[in-house]
């Protein structure tokens, strides 16, 4: 690869724009553009600065193949984030399966107190898995703030096809669940234990669908290595914005949990007030979208 090709690859791998690289080097954006097009060549001081910035040798930068040299998954990035995606998707899906289990055990005649206790036990296990996975991710990011882009175009294309099927399958599963509810009550009367049974089966379908959607989204994001590198090296402004997002989302979910427990204890709405968590999740999603510090860049 020529120097211009190596420079383009290394800049993209770090998730930098030409303007951002120009700021790092204290040069104009036009200079970076000329280097990457092969119309000009930087001075030796700038070349050494580039080697330091991208952690490559001068020989590799000028005459080597940076893409081939750096596309080795030496940090176990792919294996870690594949496992992380599975843990998160199964943890969230497990909470929905816990709701299904509560409804089905109530329909089978188990005391409501025991069914709710079973739900809370499932939630506790899933929350432990989610928290542990989050801590492991944080630890991985601290150990490896920057990783090489180890994916080929063929792997990205295969991942995109997998993403499409998982998204369509997840959305289709939710639609099948809604259709099932409509058809179920054309055969069975709208009274207990049929309502609880229908709700339990619907939540099983919902759990599988949400797990597919979550895993598909996280698997697709895994291939955006430039984004991983960018997020691990945030500016002070981005760090503050992310802290604000985390604080707001924590407050939303704590409030939803408090209201759910309050309604359950005061009005015995354990069966129906679960929608508070769905609303909380949607609100957190909106907060991430509205306050995303990189939304203009992306």
Q: What is residue 202's predicted lDDT score, i.e. its pLDDT? A: 93
**Cα dihedral across residues 224, 227, 233, 239: positive or negative:** negative
Q: How large is the average pLDDT for residues 162-177?
A: 95
Reported pTM: 0.66
Q: What is residue 71's predicted lDDT score, i.e. its pLDDT? A: 62
Place of tokens 């200079």: 31
Contact 48, 58 (CB under 8 A): yes
Quote the CA–CA distance of 287 and 18 in Å, as a whole number. Answer: 29
* Structure tokens that stand for 193 in this block: 């234990």
pLDDT at 187 over 90: no
Q: How large is the average pLDDT for residues 162-190?
A: 92
pLDDT at 298 over 80: no
Percent of the chain with pLDDT over 70: 95
* Structure tokens that stand for 12 in this block: 């993209």
* 154-to-73, 159, 224, 270 alpha-carbon distances in Å: 16, 9, 14, 48
- The lowest-confidence range among 25-29, 221-225, 237-241, 259-263 is 237-241
Averaged pLDDT of the chain? 87
Q: Is 52 exposed, middle or buried (0-12, 13-18, 19+ CB in 10 A)?
A: exposed
Number of neighbours of residue 272 by Cβ within 10 angstroms = 12
């Amino acid at each position: 690869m020529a120097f211009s090709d190596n420079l383009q690859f290394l800049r993209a791998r770090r998730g930098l724009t030409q303007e951002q690289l120009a700021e790092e080097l204290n040069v104009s954006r036009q200079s970076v553009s000329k280097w990457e097009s092969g119309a000009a060549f930087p001075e030796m001081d700038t070349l050494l600065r580039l080697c330091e910035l991208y952690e490559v040798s001068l020989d590799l930068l000028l005459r080597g193949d940076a893409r081939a040299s750096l596309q080795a998954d030496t940090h176990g990035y792919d294996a870690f984030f594949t496992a992380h995606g599975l843990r998160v998707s199964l943890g969230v899906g497990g909470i929905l399966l816990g709701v299904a289990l509560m409804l089905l055990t109530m329909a089978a005649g188990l005391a409501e107190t025991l069914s709710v206790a079973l739900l809370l036990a499932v939630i506790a296990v899933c929350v432990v898995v989610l928290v542990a996975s989050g801590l492991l991710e944080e630890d991985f990011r601290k150990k490896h703030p920057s990783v090489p882009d180890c994916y080929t175009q063929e792997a990205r294309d295969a991942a995109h096809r997998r993403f499409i099927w998982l998204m369509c399958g997840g959305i289709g599963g939710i639609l099948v669940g809604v259709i099932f509810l409509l058809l179920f009550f054309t055969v069975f009367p709208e009274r207990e234990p049929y309502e609880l049974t229908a709700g339990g089966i619907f939540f099983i379908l919902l759990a599988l669908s949400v797990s597919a959607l979550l895993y598909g989204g996280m698997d697709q994001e895994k291939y955006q290595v430039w984004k991983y590198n960018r997020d691990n090296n945030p500016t002070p402004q981005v760090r503050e914005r992310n802290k604000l997002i985390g604080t707001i989302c924590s407050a939303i979910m704590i409030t939803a949990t408090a209201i759910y427990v309050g309604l359950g204890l005061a009005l015995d709405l354990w069966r129906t007030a679960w929608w508070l968590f769905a609303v909380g999740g949607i609100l957190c999603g909106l907060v991430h979208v509205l306050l995303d510090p990189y939304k203009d860049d992306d």
